[in-house]
Amino acid sequence: MSHRNDAATSAKPSNPTTANSSGSGAHSRPRVALAAICIAAIIAAGASVVRNYREMNRPGAVDSDEGARALADGRPDLAEAAWRRGIHDDPADARCFSLLADYDFKQGKTAEAADLYAAVTRLTPNDGASFLKLYQAQSANRDQKGALASLKRATELLPNDGDAFGMYGLFAQARNDFPAAFPALQRAHALKPDDRDYLFGLIQLEMMRSDFESAARNLEPWMRLHPNDAQGCHLQALLLEQRPPTAENLAAALDLERRAHAGAPHNTDAIDGLGDVTLKLNRPAEAIPIFLQAATLDPDDEKARNGLLRCYQRLGRVSDAETMARTIATLEARRQRIAHLADAFSFHSNDVAVGLELAALYEAQDRFSSARDILSRLTAHAPDSTVARKSLADFLARHPASAPDDGAPLPNAKTSP
């Protein structure tokens, strides 16, 4: 009995103080770790406060806010001065660059805006929205090469932005780059199925690919909601014309083209479409005044001239047909020349000979805004050319109030900065 008690006694800790001390150390370690975490958090929070304070009080931030307040108060002169000061004092901050670019763009100073947006994209190379703004300025300035690069980068940075893909698709379509345009517009339509521009751009490409089934399938929901949409009616009529030319199909196409013409009486595509269907119904005498209306609205409308040529041939008007054939050849040659020069000038904006010839051709077509913009860009990129400066001065004297036209080589952007 005594031996068992001795064994039990020996099994217990001989120093109660030592045992308690060991337990206390085990419990203290979590408290030390927690304290360390708290200290680290306090240090990080303090550092964040310091960073935020410095960011809020750096010259770029102060001047951007000051400029915004001045603009809101109706003092654009003070706003511009503040932003330019911020650019000078804090060239690594994008805010003043961006605000001044927005202001310049709205004032029509597209070349200056493009330079500022380019600076913004260099400072914030992963901001897709800035590349879209740069595209808009480059587009307005007819810088096709730069606009293409900016849009491509925007789609890479904004994979779920329907406008980025839509604008890229429309841009590529305007440049006849259909392999790039088609997937971009498919993506844009998937992201923004209710956007009319992207939908119609996609449908036109599907029709060019002879995929009339997909084009009709995509157009049908839109026309169900917008039965009198002029362009939609015209596209629907073109799709009907791909079917067998029965009297029923041609009558339905004629009705659609009449609705398109009623909705857009000055749209030459709708007028030409109406003339085409009328001619397919073997009514050349009726089609002639229709095509003449389109030719009057647009002296360079080759579709109208080709329609008139077919009408004259069917009616046996040989002399009129020969005259029209010569006119068509002249228009085709000029169209190809303009396309060649516009493409060359987009890559070499300091080429005086190209710029002057292109501006002259635009002026001959009464596309005064396009001619003015080409000459303005030429003088900016070839500042030492006295010929370019004199040509711009002479043009402005002839056309002091040249207004925007519909013939810009780049599509309009969906939004403005």
Cα(233)–Cα(245) distance, integer angstroms: 18
Judgement on whether residues 75 and 142 belong to the same structural domain of the protein: yes
Q: What is the dihedral of CA 139, 142, 144, 150, to 10 degrees?
A: -30
In a domain, 167, yes or no: yes
Using 50, 70 and 90 to split pLDDT, how confident is the model at 140? Answer: confident
Q: How far is CA 118 from CA 129, 147, 149, 212, 237, in A?
A: 12, 11, 12, 41, 44
61 lies in the same domain as 149: yes
CATH code assigned at 79: 1.25.40.10
pTM: 0.68
Q: One-letter amino acid identity for 228?
A: N
Sign of CA dihedral 246, 250, 253, 259: negative
Q: What percent of the chain has pLDDT over 70?
A: 83
Is residue 174 one of the residues assigned to a domain?
A: yes
Q: Would 204 be classed as within a structural domain?
A: yes
How many other CB atoms are found less than 10 A from the CB of residue 205? 22
- Within 10 angstroms of residue 91's Cβ, the number of other Cβ atoms is 14
| Total number of domains in the chain | 2
How do residues 86-114 score in pLDDT, each as one tens digit?
999 899 999 999 999 999 999 888 889 99
Cα dihedral 252, 254, 257, 258 in deg (nearest 10): -110
| Structural domain includes residue 110 | yes
Side chain identity, residue 210: S
pLDDT digits (tens, 9 = 90+) for 251-287: 999 999 999 999 999 999 999 999 999 999 999 999 9
- Amino acid in position 92: A
Q: How far from the centroid of its chain's Cα atoms is residue 307's Cα?
A: 34
Does a structural domain hold residue 151? yes
Least confident of 9-18, 133-142, 308-317, 351-360: 9-18
The answer as to whether 228 is a domain residue is: no
Range of the domain at 118: 57-158
Task: Let me know whether 200 and 119 are in one domain.
Answer: no
**Do 69 and 149 sit in the same domain of this protein?**
yes
Residue 282, Ramachandran bin (φ over 0: left; ψ between -120 and 50: alpha; else beta): left
The answer to whether 236 and 219 have CB atoms below 8 angstroms apart is yes
**How does 116-138 read in b/e, with b if 16+ C-beta sit within 10 Å?**
bbbbbbebbeebbbbbbbbbbbb
pLDDT digits (tens, 9 = 90+) for 171-230: 999 888 899 999 999 999 999 999 999 999 999 999 999 999 999 999 999 999 999 999
Based on its alpha-carbon atoms, the radius of gyration of the chain, rounded to whole angstroms, reads: 34
Say if residue 84 is in the same domain as residue 144.
yes
